[in-house]
Structure formats: structure tokens, C-alpha cells
Structure 1
Amino acid sequence: MRDKINQMLKDKLFLVMLVLGLLTIVAAAGVFTVQRGNGKETSPYLEIPGPDTIAQEGTQGDTQVAGASNAAPVEETKEEALASAIKETPANNAGDDLAAEAGAGKDAAKPLVLNFTDTSKMTWPVRGNVLLDYSMDQTIYFPTLDQYKCNPGLVIQSDVSTPVTAPANAKVVAVGSNEEIGNYVTLDLGNDYTAICGQLKEVCAVEGEYLEAGQTLGYVSEPTKYYSVEGVNVFFELQHEGKTVDPLDYME
């Protein structure tokens, strides 16, 4: 019995010595680590950072956050690059050119001052001989109709497809057609003066637009059946306050 007790004591003593030896080894290893860290103490336990530390490191770390001031530049798309180039272009360079191109035609649409008076002069809508003169105080002979009648305007000789131009600055008040003078354009010259150009084709004047003197209204067409003998012509009538007047009194 005594031998068993002695044996147990020996075994316990051995275990104690073994534990002490292990602790000595661990302590020696810790001292060695401290020395390698330039004297800076390090804890043998794992430190878990707190929430404040994690938040601070998130703002100071190398990871870039979208929208941060120190974020790396993102490559621009073609559309963004073009928009930036237009925005940074000097005002007197491409921007003005684009604006000028976008605004082209504004001057043409700008209303003109219509101030035709009894002392104003007009240009001829076409150049040519007068086949039938203005005559409202007496009748003249119309070859195609083979009759005498008054003529409220001028019948001016011309050629098919000759351009017909506005005789003065004017606003187009009507574009129409009738059996006698074919396609026609009615122009407001201002101060109750109105001009009518007939025997037209391919009319390019648009009702409501303003035309400068010399701007094309349309082109000379084949004559209607009322002027087949007289030949190709332009009918031109001038009115003041609704009454016809002699256009030749106002021609240059």
C-alpha cells in the first residue's frame, strides 16, 4: 500500500515538473518576441478592434469610396467627354458656331419694316416687255379673248421657269390660284399697299413670312388659257387702299 502511495506521489511530481517546464518555455518565447519588437510590448492575446476603431480605419484606409474626394478618377464615357469639351470651349469658339448654326434663319423670320409710300420705288418682278399695259380708265384689246376690256395690272413678257421676285420688302398674306392668272402670291407692302404676282409655278413663298425685295416668290409658268396668244408672262397688279393703281408709276 505504501508503495502505491509513493508511486502516485512520484507521478504527480512528474506532472508538476512537466507543467513548470512548459511554462518556462512559453515565458522564454515571450521574452524573445518582446526583444525582436524593439522593446515594444506586444500582447500574446488577439486584440479585436472596437466599432470606433473600425469606422476610423474605414475612412483612412487605402480602399477608395465612391464620391470620396481622394477617389481614383473614373474613365469618362464618350458622351461625358463630349459634354465636357463643349462646356469648356471658349464662348467665341465652337460654342458660338453651334449656337449660330442652331439660330440660322432667325434673321430671315424677323419681321421687316414695311413702309411703302407713294414716293417709294419697286423693282420689276421679272424683266421683260409690257404686253398689256395697266388701263382702268379705258379699255384695251386682249388678243386671246378677242375683246376690249380694262386691265387692272401689267402683263409682262417672260420665259418659262424665270424666277419671279418680290418687288419690295413685303409680307406674304395669301398664296392662291384662279382660272385667269393661275397661281398667284399676294404681298402686303405696308401703308395699305398690296401687290399681286400671277402666272406662277413652284411657288416657294409661304403665307405669313416676310420677304426682302428681290427674294424669289416662285417661277414663271405656262400661260393660262386667257393669255395663250399673248404668250408666257407674269401678271402684276398694285393696289392702294383696295383700289388698283398704275404699277409703272412706282417702278424703278
Structure 2
Amino acid sequence: MSKRKLYYITLFTSVFIVSAATILLYRAGIPTPGDVEFAGNLTPRQESEWTMQAFTGEAVIAGDADGQETTAAVEQNEEDYITPVVQDTAAPAEGIETLIGLAEPVFGQVVLEYAMDRMVYSRTLDEWRTHPGLDIGCELGQAVTASADGTVVDVYEDARLGVTVVVEHANHFRTVYANLTREVAVLPNMVLSRGDVIGYAGNTARIESIDPVHLHYEVHYMGQPVDPARFMDVTRAASSDDFE
């Protein structure tokens, strides 16, 4: 057999194998490079983590044949639900003073307090549970700003708290801004100054969906939530009914 004939046989075989593999991947629904797109500048994590099974008894399946979300009922049982554990996560005294004087991330009144040492009532879930941050009532689309200088370390859509931005500050502090609209204004690794716009108040938090529009705001020290009210002056609503 001549070298030329062997060359063409090898080339034909290679093309056939690649074509067959592509057809099999297409029929199996496995995305190939360039096929996967994600909304806005949110991370791909939303596609695998977006499930409300633990809260509604339904699993949201992203990306059916028409590119639309579909909902599949799942069997409800006690193991599907998160049971809150009351704990004291107060930060140690040392290091705390470094974050005193945080700016309010959004102008409004606190409609739900930080509560990691007691239970508060969740209207959406119809249960008593802990609450690791402040819910600050505001207008839909109102600008949300960085409480202090820092660096964006994460932008994603959380299965419970919706569109979320995490900013890292000095001395092991982080601030978390959740329940934003999908039109976020930052990307991971962006360096922010106090007062820079991060995003806009939305209604993407599934576990707080029937509450009035608000920003869910957390402060973490050494990986543990602490009361944001320790670091800023906040205005408290007389009752959450003021925002219904």
C-alpha cells in the first residue's frame, strides 16, 4: 500500500471518528465548548445549585429542551428541610474595632434583625429560624453600595438568597449583599472603594420572596456571621408591617 493511500485512509478514519463523537454528544445533550452561556456576569454555579427542594418540595431543573426552566415535584420529607440551630457566633473582641464605621449599604430601615442567638419568624417559609444578617427595607432597583473598601471575591446566584455579591475587607472581614437584581455592577477581583455601587435591590431570594423588597446584608468575621449593627448606625422600623 502506498504512503499516499495510507494517508487518505487515516485522514478519513479520523474525520469519521470526530463526526461520530460529535453526533453522540449532541444526541446525549452534553454541551460542547461554546454551547454553554450564563446570564449576565453571574457565575455558572447558579446552574447546578438552583434548587428549591429543601424549601418548597419542588426541584427546579434548568435548561430543558426549549431552554426554559421546568419544575419537577419531589417527595417531601423531614430530611428535605433545614433545621436551624441556635448558636452564638459573636466575634472575639480583638480585631472588631477595625471595622467600626461601616457605611450603610442601602438607605432604608431594618425590617428583620440579626438573630443567631434566637429564632425569628420567616413568613415565606412559615417557620421559626435563625437569621445571620439584617434585612434592610428599600425600593426595588435602589442602588446598593460597598460598606467599606475591599475586593469582590464572589458574584453568584444563591439557591436561597438569590443574586449575591461577597466583598472581602482587611483583617478577615467580609460583607455579603444578597437579594439583588441580576443586573449586578461588579465582577470578581474588582477593587472597590467605600460607596461604590455593587448592584441594585431586587426580589431574587426564594426564602424571603413574600417579604417586602429589601437587601439581605451580612457581615462575617473569620468566616462566622456577626451582627452588622455593631459596626454601623441603622434605622429600625417600628414593625415589619410598615413595609407590607
| TM-score between the two structures when normalised by the length of structure 1 | 0.52
Distance in 2, matches of 1:176 and 1:164, equals 16
Change (3 A) 1:167 1:119: closer
Distance in 1, matches of 2:96 and 2:165, equals 18
Pairing of 1:93-172 with structure 2 (within 5 A):
117-118=97-98, 120-172=100-152
Larger Rg computed on CA atoms: 1
Distance in 2, matches of 1:117 and 1:173, equals 23
- Which residue number corresponds to residue 211 of structure 2? 230
Distance in 2, matches of 1:212 and 1:204, equals 13
Distance in 2, matches of 1:117 and 1:142, equals 32
Distance in 2, matches of 1:190 and 1:248, equals 19
Higher helix share: 1
Confirm or deny: 8 A CA contact 2:101 2:231 kept in the other structure: yes
Q: Cα deviation per residue 1:45-69 (whole Å; 9 max; x = unaligned)?
A: xxxxxxxxxxxxxxxxxxxxxxxxx
RMSD: 1.7
Pairing of 1:10-159 with structure 2 (within 5 A):
117-118=97-98, 120-159=100-139
Q: Give the 4+ runs in structure 1 shifted more than 2 A.
A: 115-120, 222-225
Distance in 2, matches of 1:231 and 1:164, equals 16
Q: Cα deviation per residue 1:99-137 (whole Å; 9 max; x = unaligned)?
A: xxxxxxxxxxxxxxxx98445211111111211100111
Change (3 A) 1:126 1:119: closer
Distance in 2, matches of 1:137 and 1:198, equals 21
| TM-score between the two structures when normalised by the length of structure 2 | 0.54
SS at match of 2:229: helix
The alignment of Structure 1 onto Structure 2 pairs a total of residues equal to 138
Q: Is the counterpart of residue 220 in structure 1 residue 198 in structure 2?
A: no
- Which residue identity does 1:176 align to in structure 2? Y
- Which residue number corresponds to residue 188 of structure 2? 207
Gaps of 5+ in 1: 1-114
Q: Cα deviation per residue 1:8-39 (whole Å; 9 max; x = unaligned)?
A: xxxxxxxxxxxxxxxxxxxxxxxxxxxxxxxx
Distance in 1, matches of 2:99 and 2:180, equals 28
Task: Report the Cα offset of residue 224 of structure 1.
Answer: 2.9
SS at match of 2:211: coil
Q: Which has the higher contact order (CA 8 A, sep 6+)?
A: 2
Confirm or deny: 8 A CA contact 2:102 2:232 kept in the other structure: yes
Confirm or deny: 8 A CA contact 2:136 2:217 kept in the other structure: yes
